[in-house]
Homo-oligomer: A and B are copies of this chain.
Amino acid sequence: MPVTNEETNVELQALAAKKASRKLSLLSTEDKNEALYILANHLEEKAQHILIANDQDLKAGQEKGYDAAYMDRLALSKERISDFANGLRQVAELEDPTGKTLSSWTLENGLLVEKITVPLGVIGMIYEARPNVTVDATGLALKSGNAIILKGGSSALFSNKAIVKIMKEALNETKIPSDAVQFIASTNREATQQLFTMKDHIDVLIPRGGGALIQAVVNNATVPVLETGVGNCHLYIDREADVTKALKILINAKTDRPAVCNALETAIIHEEWLEKNKEALSTACKSNHIQLHGDDVARTYLPEAIPATESDWANEYLSLDLAIKTVKSVEEAIDHIDKYGTKHSEAIITENKQTARTFLNEVDASAIYHNASTRFTDGGALGFGAEIGISTQKLHARGPMGLPALTTVKFIMSGNGQIR
């Protein structure tokens, strides 16, 4: 079959990944772990190649005028590359999620039924900027016995290409076929869209990046999608909230890392609490450079707040902006979250256990907090070892996704002639 255009290329890559996944799924845990160590060593040994490629991306980024935060996420160093390598070594140490018997039973007719975990097969990863995803996602995929097709953002193209080249060379020294890692080098939209519909070759698509990227995948893919990441997170400060806890958690959730998905976007505040604690809240926000956007009631107590519009409730700021919505009850707070939340992380601050219970039971989200910061919705923070993303959908996996999210099950039935 002649390879004449991009279309053929992407399809051939997907086919190669599928073929490799069959071989990979049969390897032992030891073979996979050894391969991850070899990958890690190669990345460190050839760090210089990656840094040269990264320079090309950084120069292109400067010319395009990307902002400092963006350039920071793009920039690599010897230390960062060692972090990538150590990440792979940590994944090698994690428990293999495949080959586990989840349950088994024998029917009355003697048929033995076993439900066992197996790799998904081929994972399509569509992501933006950060080159660390290239390494992290590959490590998690291979450890769980899956082939991976990587489609990174164009701004990290040179870095990603260099990283993948080194990883594929390293795989030649392992039992994992190097075809198990595929990188889509084409930067045109068509290449990505092809991945959306390759149901025969790709078992799941995982988009990681901004809301626009995720929506494009969700709206156009016929391959099943693990939706990740958009977090329009709320903190409800109840009438009976402790002031110290409330302010400490609000400041942490808003300012620790404003650009991540578990950062706070809207504080929903009980009017009575706000009336009593307006000065303390105002002072805390000012000293942390938080720009407030408030509804009418909020602005009577916090005159520095600019008027909030529908867009303030509906969208992530991913900056030091914070919307303030005032309510008269926990029910009103839950209704607001129901309307605007993205089912990521939601928190309540209260000393009233009954109010907390109502909030924890009735809010529909992957992670719900009582008297703690939303920032803990993270595979690392929760002790999962590593994560492939944070699922905001309800099917398959919800919340931070560790290695088990990259597996499915098989029913194995062993008989001696049973019929129905």
* Residues in A lying within 8 Å of B, measured CB to CB: 22, 25-26, 105, 107, 111, 113, 120-121, 199, 203-204, 218-219, 222, 224-226, 242, 244-245, 248-249, 252-253, 256, 338, 360-362, 364-373, 375-377, 381-383, 393-396, 398-399, 408-420
Q: How far is the CB of A329 from chain B (nearest CB, A)?
A: 15
A199 — which chain B residues lie within 8 A by C-beta?
A: 218
A120 — which chain B residues lie within 8 A by C-beta?
A: 394-395
Determine the residue in chain B with the shortest Cβ distance to A110. B372
Q: Given that A224-B393, A408-B398, A411-B399 are known contacts, is A419 also in contact with B368, CB under 8 Å in the complex?
A: no
Instruction: Tell which of B225, B366, B372, B408 touches A419, judged by Cβ atoms closer than 8 Å.
Output: B372
Q: Is the beta-carbon distance between A415 and B370 smaller than 8 angstroms?
A: yes
A218 — which chain B residues lie within 8 A by C-beta?
A: 199, 222
Q: Is the beta-carbon distance between B113 and A370 smaller than 8 angstroms?
A: no
Q: List 19 A-B contacts (CB under 8 A).
A: A22-B362, A25-B362, A26-B362, A107-B382, A111-B372, A120-B394, A121-B364, A121-B394, A248-B417, A252-B419, A365-B410, A367-B413, A371-B415, A371-B416, A371-B417, A381-B420, A395-B396, A398-B410, A399-B411
Instruction: Tell which of B222, B383, B419 touches A373, judged by Cβ atoms closer than 8 Å.
Output: B419
Bound Cα distance A420, B245 (Å) = 13
Q: How far is the CB of A322 from chain B (nearest CB, A)?
A: 16
Q: How far is the CB of A113 from chain B (nearest CB, A)?
A: 6
A222 — which chain B residues lie within 8 A by C-beta?
A: 218-219
Q: Given that A417-B244, A420-B252 are known contacts, is A368 also in contact with B408, CB under 8 Å in the complex?
A: no
Q: Given that A204-B394, A256-B420, A395-B226 are known contacts, is A415 also in contact with B372, CB under 8 Å in the complex?
A: yes
Q: How many copies does the complex hold?
A: 2
Bound Cα distance A411, B382 (Å) = 10
Bound Cα distance A371, B393 (Å) = 39
Q: Is the beta-carbon distance between B414 and A370 smaller than 8 angstroms?
A: yes
Determine the residue in chain B with the shortest Cβ distance to A262. B420
A365 — which chain B residues lie within 8 A by C-beta?
A: 410
Instruction: Tell which of B367, B398, B417 touches A245, judged by Cβ atoms closer than 8 Å.
Output: B417
Q: Is the beta-carbon distance between B395 and A113 smaller than 8 angstroms?
A: no
A398 — which chain B residues lie within 8 A by C-beta?
A: 408-411
Interface of A is mostly: mixed
Q: A369-B413, A369-B415, A372-B417 are in contact. List 16 more A-B contacts (CB 8 A).
A: A22-B362, A25-B361, A107-B376, A107-B381, A111-B372, A120-B395, A248-B417, A248-B419, A366-B410, A367-B413, A368-B412, A370-B413, A370-B415, A371-B416, A372-B416, A395-B395
Instruction: Tell which of B375, B408, B414 touches A394, judged by Cβ atoms closer than 8 Å.
Output: B408
Bound Cα distance A117, B416 (Å) = 37
Chain A to chain B: the 8 pairs with minimum beta-carbon distance, closest first: A372-B415, A252-B419, A394-B408, A395-B396, A245-B417, A375-B420, A396-B396, A372-B418
Q: How far is the CB of A383 from chain B (nearest CB, A)?
A: 7
Q: How far is the CB of A141 from chain B (nearest CB, A)?
A: 14
Bound Cα distance A237, B359 (Å) = 58
A418 — which chain B residues lie within 8 A by C-beta?
A: 371-373, 376
Bound Cα distance A222, B248 (Å) = 39
Q: Is the beta-carbon distance between A419 and B111 smaller than 8 angstroms?
A: no
Determine the residue in chain B with the shortest Cβ distance to A417. B245
A394 — which chain B residues lie within 8 A by C-beta?
A: 120-121, 203-204, 224, 408
